[in-house]
Amino acid sequence: MTKWWQKAVVYQVYPRSFQDSNGDGIGDLQGIIQRLPYIKKLGADVIWLNPIYQTSNVDGGYDISDYQMINPDFGTLDDFKELLQKAHQLGLKIMLDLVVNHTSSEHKWFIESRKSKDNPYRDFYIWRDPVAGHEPNNWGSFFSGPAWTFDKKTGQYYLHLFAKEQPDLNWANPKVRQAVFDMMNWWAAQGIDGFRMDVISMLSKPEGLPDGPKAAGALYGDGGSLVANGKHEHQYLREMNQQVLSHYNWITVGETAGVTVEEAKKYANLDGSELNMVFQFEHMGLDNNPDPRLGKWSDKKASLHDLRANLTKWQQQLAGKAWNSLYWNNHDQPRVVSRFGNDSAKYRVLSAKMLAAMLHCMQGTPYIYQGEELGMTNTHFSSLNDVVDVEARNAYHELVEEAKIISGPKLLHYFDAKSRDNARTPMQWTNQSNAGFTKGKPWMPLNPNYLQINAAAALADQNSIFYFYQKLIKLRHELEVITDGDFKLVENNENDPEVFTYTRSNQQQKLLVICNFTDLTLKRSYQIDPTAKLILQNYADAAQTAVSDQLRPYETRIYLTEKGTVND
Ligand code: TEU
Ligand code: CA
């Protein structure tokens, strides 16, 4: 039986960069309220809001100092209630971000915890004695430097997988779990419709916190690989499910860094025992640097071969067992049209549509990140001064200044390709001052291409990327096969270096999706049913029924066959 969230499309809003309503240069809840009709027009069903809570703002709100307070930059709890009510009136649901692997170091639990070894909150976090005057193990933080910070007051180190201002909660402590579940139930009482769960795969830390594997020449060991999918992980999520999730008709998605297909079958099992779906990361790692010390910092292009193999594996292996999400973009990833497409003036629109079609015809729940529907592109960093994000800034200090394994200009060039700031430039609404994002000074510089790429221009052009996404969402709502059809590559496609072609089929319908991943004109011929209808394409004059054997640069076509009208 299909669940509502299996047919839904989610639109992700990064509140700080979406719409400012009061001229302070920072996006806010009233700004989102103003833009609800825009999201409704696109056709999305759910809005996921990145963290809107009180924060020290070291990591874009992922360092929460009070889970039940709204960030005053964004508004008040009353503003949030108004947003929820107005969204619901339009038939839009609201999903919040749950960040409970860690808190801010300014959270009252941590302020208490660090006071003394016998404080009732001491065991809310993970404290260890120094070992031979050093950190308790070799783990590096995801944001550079060691994953441990020494706290003089009590002479111990605390663990933080991310920035030192983000101490990890101790999920082995039942009081921590209860406090989190109570908080979630409080938000449920406010009427929200679900949670996206930040690094939820890393709650259960390995017994004894052993050293992690260390790449040659690296400064730190990799704790992340030991922490992902830990021993008690599924027990914690099952508890959460029993105490919270099972009581509501929510949408839930786990951000499961390090998840494998086998693990995803537990997190997102269709039996509903844990979460609805996962965000898997394998396709986001295909363009990592071959040098493990540099990790994501790279300008490598993923090959179609690797991308297709990965997406196909997830399509086929979760089918009928667990549910996946579908995404190209989020607030941590560079812009997809720059990454897997072609952001030149000539091909930006064509390639953005091709990528949209490729993803949106697969099985899973699609997520659209703000501006993706406009084909917003990566930005440019000419010096470290332009770089806002903590991950990139820390990486620069560690890799360029301390370890000296890469030059500054080279790393800045990699930031152009991969920095999280690429996703966080303000939303481009118009070609007017500050792209209509703010009447004040934007908290982060706009991408100068807002003069050409903006929502007003997209809405005025029937051939825009916006309307292409709108059509894809409509197709998902109308065609059962997109939700439940079997996924198959067409014959021999697994070896095609340039074109990705797959089918989705159920008893009644069959969909054929053709995507030219290159800027070349290619020859391909496919077996097309004579009754197949071309239902979407990105060239105005694509062949109506029989497939011509020519594929133009970034051409995509979607054909639908209604079975029962033919014998097949
Ligand atoms: O990201 C978790 C995560 O796995 C990151 O390491 C992510 O891969 C990285 O940012 C990409 O470069 C989540 C949030 O989405 C991110 O914004 C937060 O900074 C992080 O958790 C800590 O809360
Ligand atoms: Ca504001």
Q: Which of 198, 372, 373, 398 is catalytic?
A: 198
Residue 275 neighbours by CB under 8 Å, 6+ apart = 197, 200, 237, 241, 245, 252, 253, 254, 267, 268
Q: Which atom of ligand 1 is nearest to the CA of 59?
A: 19
Closest CA to 557 of 536, 543, 540: 536
Which residues, given as ranges, of the chain have pLDDT below 70?
542-548, 565-568
Q: What is the pLDDT of residues 126-161, one digit of tens each?
A: 999 999 999 999 999 999 999 999 999 999 999 999
Q: Whose CA is nearest to atom 10 of ligand 1?
A: 332
Backbone angles phi, psi at 368, to 5 degrees: -115, 125
Q: At what angle do helices 29-42 and 465-478 cross, to 10 degrees?
A: 70
Q: Which ligand is nearest to the CA of 418?
A: 1
Query: How far does the centroid of ligand 2 lie from the alpha carbon of residue 387, in Å?
Result: 21
293: number of Cβ within 10 Å:
17
Q: Which atom of ligand 1 is nearest to the CA of 63?
A: 23
Residues 493, 316 contacting (CB under 8 angstroms): no
pLDDT of residue 18: 99
252: number of Cβ within 10 Å:
27
**For strand 522-523 and strand 194-197, is the pairing parallel, antiparallel, or unpaired?**
unpaired
Q: Which atom of ligand 1 is nearest to the CA of 281?
A: 8
Rounded CA-CA distance 381/396 in Å is: 13
Query: How far does the centroid of ligand 2 lie from the alpha carbon of residue 15, in Å?
Result: 10
Query: How far does the centroid of ligand 1 lie from the alpha carbon of residue 521, in Å?
Result: 38
Is residue 198 among the annotated active site residues? Answer: yes
Rounded CA-CA distance 435/441 in Å is: 11
Is residue 24 among the annotated active site residues? Answer: no
Structure tokens at 451: 């003069």
pLDDT of residue 543: 60
CA 106 from chain centre, in angstroms, equals 26
Distances (CA, A) of 204 to 100, 200, 208, 258, 543: 12, 9, 12, 13, 54
Q: Which ligand is nearest to the CA of 438?
A: 2
Q: Which ligand is nearest to the CA of 422?
A: 1
pLDDT of residue 564: 74
**For strand 10-13 and strand 365-369, is the pairing parallel, antiparallel, or unpaired?**
parallel
Q: Which of 198, 200, 282 to probe ligand 1 with, by most ligand atoms within 8 A of CB?
A: 198
225: number of Cβ within 10 Å:
12
Q: Which atom of ligand 1 is nearest to the CA of 390?
A: 19
Backbone angles phi, psi at 448, to 5 degrees: -60, -15
Query: How far does the centroid of ligand 2 lie from the alpha carbon of residue 24, in Å?
Result: 5
Query: How far does the centroid of ligand 2 lie from the alpha carbon of residue 426, in Å?
Result: 12
pLDDT of residue 442: 98
Q: What region does 277 belong to: left with phi over 0, alpha with psi -120 to 50, or beta?
A: beta
320: number of Cβ within 10 Å:
10
Buried/exposed 507-533: b ≥16 CB within 10 Å, e otherwise: eebbbbbbbbbbeeebebebebbeebe
Residue 280 neighbours by CB under 8 Å, 6+ apart = 256, 259, 264, 314, 324, 325
Would you state the torsion angle of the CA atoms of residues 489, 548, 533, 471, taken in this order, to the nearest 10 degrees?
A: 80
pLDDT of residue 528: 84
DSSP annotation of 181 reads: H
pLDDT of residue 568: 46
pLDDT of residue 263: 98
Q: Which ligand is nearest to the CA of 16?
A: 2
Q: Whose CA is nearest to atom 17 of ligand 1?
A: 332
Q: Which of 255, 372, 373, 484 is catalytic?
A: 255
Q: Which of 139, 144, 196, 199 to probe ligand 1 with, by most ligand atoms within 8 A of CB?
A: 199
Sign of the alpha-carbon dihedral angle for 425, 427, 432, 433: negative
Query: How far does the centroid of ligand 2 lie from the alpha carbon of residue 104, in Å?
Result: 22
Distances (CA, A) of 241 to 7, 47, 234: 22, 22, 10
Instruction: Look up the pTM and report it.
Output: 0.97
Residue 541 neighbours by CB under 8 Å, 6+ apart = none
Q: What is the pLDDT of residues 435-469, one digit of tens each?
A: 999 999 999 999 999 999 999 999 999 999 999 99
Rounded CA-CA distance 306/397 in Å is: 32
Rounded CA-CA distance 489/501 in Å is: 6
